[in-house]
Amino acid sequence: MSGSPDRARLERLVAEALALAAHGRFRVEPNPIVGAIVLDRDGAVAGRGFHARWGGPHAEIAALAEAGERARGGTLVVTLEPCANSGKKTPPCVPAIVATGVARVVAGTGDPSPATAGRAANELAAAGILYECGMLDEKCRASIARFVRHLGSDRPWIVAKWAMSIDGRIADAAGASRWISGDRSRELVHELRGAADAVVVGRGTIEADDPSLTCRAPGGRNPLRVVLDSTLAVSPESKVVATARETPTLLICSEGADASRRAELERRGAEVVELAWDGPGQVDPAAAMRVLHGRGVRRVLLESGGRVAGAFARAGIVDQVAVFSAPILLGAGPSPTHGGGWPIEEAPRLEDVRVTSVGEDALIEGYWPSRPST
Ligand code: AOF
Ligand code: ZN
């Protein structure tokens, strides 16, 4: 193995890093999926890494951590230009890269985010590090297409999650939904909550299940709990309201909601935001999501019942779906996306689908189609 890898080898390494990046699919969006490989000064692989979850370390940092001291004098190969900007969820990568003493950085494609685009070149050069960008440019750019498309969006990335019976029901005919999915699926839901900025439900879910909506995964962080409740009819005794002083809860209602109800809910520590009146019995999902975006929420886990999930789906503001399909037959009960459908030829068909076994359940994940089918 030569100390300085040639172009053909670098291209193979970027391709390998792209395969690593794909392990982050469905867990990092709206961030880009990114993979990285570190070679030591002799050209041997010393570390591999990828961006694994929203809010977690970037790919370069993971690969450099695995390489440790072996990174000194070596080469970092990464599918995306390293970030140079601070004020995000994680510290910028460029200074961390400089600190490891690598001699060379090879990036697959430039980062289109205005805050950091092009900065790695100057900053790495200033530190005496050789930098090349554009190795397998087209493939690397294609790998971050969803990130790029979402960059200018005025709403968060929305992951719709539900657990259903094998015959597509999210509760039995009496409304009971505990527990359709198995233990392992429910643990995974806690991980999904821990990697979301906010979890969103409608009032119906609070009334039916009285969930805590906290993250009980080890080391997990609680998302903001958001309830869409046009008339503020949610019970002040419900868990999300009663515990709002420890874990923030935001209630989004329509303007004109009862002032005394509002005062009572606020007295318990819940925060209330009013939206323009949008007809009886509903809060406009897109408007609610814009409110969350305005507060810095970038990734939402939608854990609502079928009526609210159906409204999001029909508004076209679902980006990703995570469905736990459990081997139980209910025969009757509500659908996960209630309230009007599509003829088959117009129905949204998920893209880049991944099916994973989770205990005895199947976890089916996919991206909402980028363009509605015609
Ligand atoms: C990632 N993963 O491996 C790299 C990224 O909010 P943060 O701190 O996670 O930063 C996200 C930005 O960092 C993202 O928009 C992109 O510009 C840059 N690079 N992002 O999520 C990675 N290398
Ligand atoms: Zn970074």
pLDDT tens-digit series, residues 59-100: 999 999 999 999 999 999 999 999 999 878 899 999 999 999
Above pLDDT 90, what percent of the chain?
91
- The mean pLDDT value for 95-111 works out to 98
Q: Which of 97-101, 133-137, 170-174, 340-344 has the lowest mean pLDDT?
A: 340-344
User: Distances in Å between the alpha carbon of 82 and those of 32, 146, 331, 342?
Assistant: 12, 18, 51, 42
CA distance 369 to 336: 18
Q: Is the peptide bond before 179 cis (omega within 30 degrees of 0)?
A: yes
Residue 58 contacts by C-beta under 8 Å, 6 or more apart in sequence? 34, 51, 82, 83, 90, 93
Distance of CA 90 to the CA centre of its chain: 15
The three-state secondary structure class of 350 is: coil
Mean pLDDT of 270-293: 90
pLDDT at 170: 97
Band the pLDDT of 373: cuts 50, 70, 90.
very low
pLDDT higher than 70, residue 128: yes
pLDDT for res 1:
54
Which ligand is nearest the CA of 36, by number? 1
| Separation between Cα atoms, residue 364 and residue 240, nearest integer Å | 28
Query: Given the structure tokens 């719709």, which residue do they identify?
Result: 160
The answer to whether 60 is a known catalytic residue is yes
Of the ranges 103-117, 267-281, 314-328, which one carries the lowest mean pLDDT score?
267-281
Higher pLDDT, 165 or 370: 165
pLDDT of residue 325: 98
Contact 267, 232 (CB under 8 A): no
**Beta carbons of 92 and 124 less than 8 angstroms apart:** no
The better pLDDT of the pair 233, 373 is held by: 233
CA distance 286 to 313: 11
The 10s digit of each residue's pLDDT in 154-211 is 999 999 999 999 999 999 999 999 999 999 999 999 999 999 999 999 999 999 999 9
Backbone angles phi, psi at 231, to 5 degrees: -105, 5
The atom of ligand 1 lying closest to the CA of 28 is 21
155-166 pLDDT, tens per residue?
999 999 999 999
Using a CB cutoff of 5 Å, list residues around ligand 2, an ion.
58, 83, 93
Give residue 2's pLDDT.
Answer: 53
Supply φ then ψ for residue 321, to 5 degrees: -120, 140
Mean pLDDT score of the chain, rounded to an integer? 95
pLDDT at 4: 82
| DSSP tag of 157 | E
Å from CA of 58 to ligand 1 middle: 6
Q: Tell me the pTM.
A: 0.95
11 pLDDT band, cuts 50/70/90, is: very high
Check whether 8 has a pLDDT greater than 90: yes
Instruction: Please give the pLDDT value at position 372.
Output: 44
Judge whether residue 287 has pLDDT over 80: yes
Q: Pick the catalytic residue: 60, 81, 123, 303?
A: 60
Choice from 38, 54, 80 to test ligand 1 binding pocket (greatest atom count within 8 A of CB): 80
Q: What pLDDT does residue 276 have? A: 87
